[in-house]
């Protein structure tokens, strides 16, 4: 079952950016050592746990908050930080 990944705390001790609403595939979430019911991670903390930069293929394309379709651009009830937007466009890991 899809679970919303919302960036902010989940045990990190560094300052976090504003909320980042996103959904990654379960295998990406689990690879970061997170269980289905575990809290939330900002993009930076998820990447730190994975040891790599997220790429577009890591995100579920069937979820509106991950969509790069301009038709969704008018919805302001979820937050897309510049960092998240950059990852949604990235095609290969660094």
Confidence (pLDDT) at 39: 74
Looking at residue 13, its pLDDT comes to 42
Instruction: Name the β-bridge partners of 59.
Output: 24
∠ Cα 31 41 64 (to 5°): 90
For the chain, give every domain's residue range.
5-89
Tokens encoding 55: 């790429």
Per-residue tokens: 23: 């959904």
C-alpha span between 29 and 49 (Å, rounded)? 10
Q: Within the chain, what is the greatest distance between any pair of CA atoms? A: 36
pLDDT digits (tens, 9 = 90+) for 1-38: 344 444 444 444 444 556 777 889 999 999 999 887 66
Angle between helices 43-50 and 82-89 (to 10 degrees): 50
Give 67's pLDDT tier (boundaries 50, 70, 90): confident
Would you state the pLDDT for residue 54? 95
Secondary structure class of 92 (helix, strand, coil): coil
Q: Which of 21-30, 36-45, 55-64, 68-77 has the lowest mean pLDDT?
A: 68-77
What residue has token string 């990406």? 28
């Amino acid at each position: 079952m899809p679970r919303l990944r919302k960036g902010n705390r989940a045990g990190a001790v560094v300052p976090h950016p504003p909320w980042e609403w996103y959904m990654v595939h379960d295998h990406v979430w689990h690879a970061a050592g997170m269980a289905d019911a575990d809290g939330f991670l900002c993009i930076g903390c998820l990447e730190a746990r994975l040891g790599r930069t997220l790429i577009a293929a890591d995100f579920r394309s069937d979820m509106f908050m991950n969509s790069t379709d301009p038709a969704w651009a008018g919805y302001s009830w979820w937050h897309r930080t510049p960092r998240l937007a950059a990852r949604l466009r990235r095609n290969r890991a660094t």
